[in-house]
Structure 1
């Protein structure tokens, strides 16, 4: 045994133990306080804190877990944490816990949903760590979970709201855009793409300047600059942009400053609205409003508006006329001031009833007293006038002065004879047909048929119908509608007294006449209308025949060109005494004769109008008559030319040809001599006259050519303008003279017609539209071949004509470059245009025609000098090209003299290049 401790040792040890016990108690107290502090924190935080063992059962949890799960602590302790999860969520939690257990690394945040005891879903954001004992061995897991249910709801609301606004943006009619400070698009909706005609891919990165003209860009820049400086949103209206397809659209657009999170300006955003159709609609509305205002101002009926007290607030001029007062006198006047006492009472009751019911009244008569004391009977209507809110603010209606009608009605009620006057003075024939004969007829029926009523009563009606039309008329008469039903309408030929046929239009309805079946018939003479239809068919026939004739003339002119050119070249090198000289001259004369024939063919084809100029028609007529008078002295010419005759725009050669054809035709009609009357007159033709010819109304100059010759029968008149029709014996005429005249006048947007009677002469009337252009004096070149210098590009698709053109131009002193189609000509001019002084261009070529070639050449050199050459024009094509800046025209076949003069004329205008 060791030494026994002394008392002091024991006392010291007891003191040491006492101190250790005291220190231990102090540590326990501190630990307890710390534990209570953290337990209090855990119990009061909103986030869940929990501990589970390795099987997933709760071993510790704070109050937040109880609150969120909706269960008491006692029930939760020992419960598996996966018990409130769906099978899928439970499997996911198991995988997370297994990974934390395997790695020892906390899980990081993850989300899951829990079904509370009451069935509601709660969403959590959780993180899990491995829980170890003092020996460091895994004993479970601890986790901190946050209830994110409200955040989930907020996120859902935010997503729904974002989807809603996205849907609105994508489906609204207005365009929405965001752009940076330079105008480059950052974001836009489908409507914005649609407005500009680009796809979304194409729009990306585009600048709004890409859609704007310089003027529009300036307005947009000003708008953005103002918004940038002030920060105040702005709006621009009537903003025109150019869509992808080149169309111009009118927009209304707004601009607001786009800022980043720091509040710094980074661009602009706004709404674009396509108001193109609205602008058109507004214009249409304005035009319609103007139209209706004009209608109101010019209509015979009165339109009025009054306030609820019956004071006039608006009315048209017809009211002033009907009431015999001025506008200023009537404005604000009460209805009591212009009506008699009985009229006042009647109007008050009508206004009161309409105001009470809101229903427009039936037409009613009321008297008014004009300022001159005359009483008039008016027929009026009243309806309620409302403001935009639908509140009654007055009355409006129409008034018609039916004083005379009122008197007529009174008279008609008193006397059947007065009623008969209406029938007897009708413009249409009115008759009653019974038992196949006319039992009653008005004077117009007798006038149309040429038979008296007594004679008509003895003639079966069907005998008055043209034999060809009788079957149709019988079928119609047997199937006519009953009394009160809508009558039928049909036309047929009526044989009148003297066996002449009239085209008539008949309305028929079945009635009862003197107790027996009959038909009431309304007969109208439509012979003039039928004649107009025949004229239209004639015009269409002439168009078809003329097209064929024109094609022949064009090809024939090209052949003549080759003959003319070769003859001219040979003659240049031939002495006048050469035995072949006169033969070649004869060939030239035959070419000219052939050219004249093709001109007439072109005239019948309504082609060949090239050199149109403002013209004094009296001058052309006088010149042609002088020439004709010298050759036909047995014809006495009488001129009646109106002074200050209006100017017409015509191809002078063509119109001279028309007039000469008419003079010659008149001469043939008077083989033994006679009188020829030529008259000009300024005249205005309305739509009723010009409509059948496809023309509008307006000012025209009329040329009348009248002879005292043998005249024509109706059959000849119908064919007189047909190509190749002639009354002369074989070999004495082509039949193209009047056909050519018809085509040329039509091609000048004019009218030509004929009036003739067998044995009483013929009159041709020509109507040419008037122009406001001034007549210019022209320079005449001497009749000689004019040479020159310079380089000429000669373009034609026919090899013979190219060679002839080259040789003719070279003989005139010019350097010639040739091309056989439009593409080659364009390429040559692009390469050598600075050396080319003039281009002679064929109008009709395959692939690239003369018109397109001319336009391509103008793109290269807008000051280019071009002479157009052709034997024919198609639908005015030559005139169209001339109007685009062509310097002159050469009609094939052209002579060397014609060529030299036209080339010199064009070159002398501005000189040679270089």
Structure 2
């Protein structure tokens, strides 16, 4: 503005100066007939130039005001349009006609952009979705009203909010990562997540779309989010509803099938029982193949008509073919449904073969038909549209306590209490209105006697399809109802038995979750399991090594668990410090599909019994120790006596022959006796120590066949001396066992040595190894001592001889310390006792089978590593 004013001032001064100078010059100019002065002419030209310059500046300023300024305003307005800064202001420019025209065009363009932006804004505000426009950092550039309401903001307040201000830290960080990914890839992202918006947790379905400029670069991200929480809840409710209906369908007493595109898309269990075909066979072949050839046409025709919307004849019967080739009559009730987006028919089929055969027989003879009706135990009525009884069979007459003349042709309501009659009327009206059969179960009263009835109401139609009457077939189900009541009473009795049972009882569902227990269980364990307790994850069971028992329970097997010592105080310090010993049995409760639905655990408290057993065992141990001390004293006294006698004898001889040369050979023999007796004392003491102190095992992966071979090799000389033939049947590829090879070598040498001792004149020693998956019972008379419960699989070693065998009365003592059947001096009776202890330390078992005169067999088992 200042420049323009200066230009105007300058041009005005130039014009004034030039005009003043010209006038002054002309005033001083001589007359026309005189020659002008050269100086005056020069001044005249200068002033004339100044005049021209002022005039030009004035004209240029006028042109600028007319053209240049409007053009600058147009450029500024176009810039606002480019930046989408449309505020409804129009241009007010004056100038040339072209500029005026351009102004009008731009104003119209502004109006269009404003309307378009308003339209988009209306769409955004009216949308049920939450709409945001986000920059690269996740800041909100725009948010519609629904988006603002989610955070209790006004629309303008949400602008500029960061993700951290709207969402919890983890969700905000996830959003920012997705936004960054869209800016990098230019690809939209779909997200379906559970989020927290404000104080509300909800499911959100989000579409994040890149906003691109003309160069294809991402300038912002459009976030369109929809709250689908209610839809999720509806889907979950639908799933639960579908599961309930599935159970109803699978346990229905009639076959239920869905037919679509000429095939069965769904069949329940009863459909398979009705036809004899499997579900896969029924759903993989056209359904007409299961229909009798003579009935296929009408069934297919009605099926196609039903698909076209025909609702007539929804219930009819036809013949079906079963797997074994037999023919069954079925009654079908069908309706049109939508199955996976396509029309289909839902069909209920009842096996009416017997009824159809009866109807066929009835058609052959009206009299026979009437006889059957009148002989029926069911109460049969025919009632017309006027609610009048047209026919009643003798069973119904007997129940009503009236003759036929008083019933036929009379209003039905006369024979029932008002409330029952009104309920029956509603059911009859429904059958007349729909033409559909109806099943009703209700309590009624006949001739003053209350009873429960189930009633089938069947429409009787004229050839035109109109229901003229209803056939009512009622059956007295009072006894069934009484049985149901009795069942409820029995259930209550069963609950009482559970609650009052002295055994602890725990009922658990198929997944291992606690359902209920009785008082004895609480008394035993001082508590019930917590809400998150699971039988298959029970720390007590895990500690007791019940893993295999758990697997067996899951397979539906009954399991008897070994005894367990337990103190609830160990796991739950707030409970009493009480140590108990219990034994448990677990057995499954199967459903109709032979799948485990529940299982029951019964606990027997054997604490007092175990204490009594321990007391008895302690007494027996004391008795054994006493016998042991006596035996040891006896065994040691004998060699000591020999030592004492030999010493005295030597002393006497030395005294008598002090001057002579001693008999070296005799003295040598005497000293040998002393040496042998002393060694025997050492053996007895060593055996005593071995049998009374714990064995220290050096466990490692051991090949049982290798140990046996080493044991046999060490005894080769004895086998040759005694003419013992060794027969080996060692199984190949036996699994390794966790054992101390040297200790096992001692076990086998003890057993083999005993076998050789009972075959002094020679015989056969047979050694067999094998893999056993179960503990095998042995026939014959045997004693068996288990050094632990050896579960399958196990490596089994069988060692048998052809000696004289062991007497029946000695079998039970075979593993006792210091028990021996050998002659004096050939053994101290500790070998088998020590072997038993070694096997026990390895978690194995050892047993012996023998009969006098038939040899002896030892079987040793060790747990296998597989």
Instruction: Please classify the TM superposition score into its range, dividing by the shorter chain length.
Output: 0.3 to 0.5
Give the TM-score normalised by the residue count of structure 2.
0.36
Higher alpha-carbon Rg: 2
Give the TM-score normalised by the residue count of structure 1.
0.35
More RCO (CA 8 Å, sep 6+): 1
